[in-house]
Structure formats: structure tokens, C-alpha cells
Amino acid sequence: MEEKRSLERYCLTVPVKIELADNPDISVFEATTKDVSSGGTFLTLEKELLVGQKVRLKLYLSINKLQEFFEMDNQVRIDVSGEVIRKEKNGVGIQFDKKYTILPIADISGCSDS
């Protein structure tokens, strides 16, 4: 099988919360990444997703370097949307959309004067 990936993938296991973009009435469910690149991820999950289904993902990362920029715990959340592009027995491949947001987990509503 020919390798189609042009972006470097990293073996990174992090928790993910998934919301179906086309059905907000369905509750959020959880998965785990198997690997991640700047263009997508492979998720290990128990719930079935269909190829072509649009999803919104929240990936929770532990990144100590970001503590220098944010006063927070040593975690950040990445919010990204994408589409299921591959389905396997133990999970699905997600291709990320171009836009994403990196947020500190603590809810920061404004700048402090300290």
C-alpha cells in the first residue's frame, strides 16, 4: 500500500472529546488519539462514526512550554473541526479543517492587572 501522508505524524496519545457537527443534540463522547499530525489524527473510539461525517474535536494536551505564556495548569485544549476520512475496526481517521484554536483549560475572560 502506498503511503499517502505528506505531513509527519507523531505517536501521541491524548484524550479527545467529540461532538457531531451535524447533530448537536447527540451528547459529546470521548476517544483517544493514536497519532497526530498538523493535518489530522487517528482516533481510537468505541462509538461508530461514518466516513464523511463532520465532527468537532477537543484535544487535551500537556505542554509545559505553554505555561510561560499562560497562567494555568500544564494543559491546553485544542478545538478543531474535521471529517472522518477512514474507518477501521478499532477507530477512525480524521482530517482536520484548516482552522483550529489553542486555549488554556482555565476559563480566562480578560487580562489581569497584576
| Cell triple for 69 | 505564556
First to last CA, the chain: 57
CA-atom Rg of the chain in angstroms: 15
| Cell triple for 90 | 478499532
pLDDT (tens digit per residue) in 54-110 = 999 988 876 554 454 455 555 667 888 999 999 998 899 999 987 776 665 654 333
What pLDDT does residue 109 have?
36
How many angstroms separate the CA atoms of 25 and 51, rounded?
Answer: 20
Distance (Å) of CA 41 to CA 90, 96, 111: 14, 8, 33
What pLDDT does residue 2 have?
43
Domains of the chain: 10-104 (2.40.10.220)
Q: What dihedral do alpha carbons 56, 79, 60, 64 form, nearest 10°?
A: 160
- Per the model's pLDDT, the better-predicted residue between 61 and 31 turns out to be 31
- State whether residue 37 is helix, strand or coil: coil
Lowest mean pLDDT among 8-12, 22-26, 48-52, 100-104: 100-104
What pLDDT does residue 83 have?
94
What pLDDT does residue 60 have?
83
